[in-house]
Amino acid sequence: MDLAEAGLDTFGKPVGYVGRQVEGWSRRWVDAVTPDTVNCDNTIQWLNDNMPKESGKYSVIHNDYKLDNVIFDADDPLRLIGVLDWEMSTVGDPLMDLGCTLGYWVQTDDPDWFREARTMPSDIEGAPKRTEIIARFQEITGLSVENFPFYFCFGLFRLCVIGQQIYYRFYHGHTKDDRFKGFLKKAHVLQRMCEMTMAGEVTD
């Protein structure tokens, strides 16, 4: 799709998107830190030190593409018929959108503590693994995913920040909903997975 022809060439600011995302989510983390939370300084530094060059291809990206934001045909469960929640969409680097999706994706051979924190049934028998998702992405887009650890780590860190932001509200009494208390543990789990990824212990 040609962005200009579709009237979407001014929908976002694609140039510099990768750097702005790392900077923006790092800033949000700092703003949401509580005394009892995990330390993400190493992750933030690693993301900055290992930031790849932009792919040079810009497209409309969803920014929250996951199983519970899509609708499948009830009569043909493998047929996708709708995508929901486009409020975070923009024009940017599609590889970053892939990273956001992979951050949600837990698979059968992941550590038990990571699987226990999953929010979607992506680790059931027959579900595609991250390598299969990446292969399909490369086939459809023509883009090469050469820096999986960066994109996966970014996706994990982004979710870690979101969880910490939710917990921050609970910690400071902005909400009394006890469900928000559990997001502290979620942040710890995601940061632990970031550490494994940065150490080369998660390669797909």
CATH code of the domain containing 77: 3.90.1200.10
Say if strands 70-73 and 59-61 run parallel, antiparallel, or are unpaired.
unpaired
What burial class does residue 22 get, using C-beta atoms within 10 Å of its C-beta: 0-12 exposed, 13-18 middle, 19+ buried?
buried
- The per-residue pLDDT for range 70-115, each reduced to its tens digit, is 999 999 998 999 999 999 999 999 999 999 999 999 999 999 999 9
Q: What pLDDT digit, counting tens, does each position of 3-43 carry?
A: 777 777 778 788 899 999 999 999 999 999 999 999 999 99
11 in any annotated domain:
no
pTM (predicted TM-score):
0.94
Is 171 among the domain residues?
yes
Does 41 fall in a domain?
yes
Report whether pLDDT(185) > 70: yes
Q: What is the pLDDT of residues 139-161, one digit of tens each?
A: 999 999 999 999 999 999 999 99
Q: How far is CA 100 from CA 37, 62, 159, 173, 196, in A?
A: 22, 9, 8, 29, 17
Specify if 5 maps to a domain: no
Q: Is residue 117 part of a domain?
A: yes
Is 72 within a domain? yes
Q: Residue 35: exposed, middle, or buried by beta-carbon count in 10 A (0-12, 13-18, 19+)?
A: exposed
| Structural domain includes residue 203 | no
Count structural domains, the chain. Answer: 1
Residue span of the structural domain in which 77 resides = 17-198
Sequence length of the chain is 204
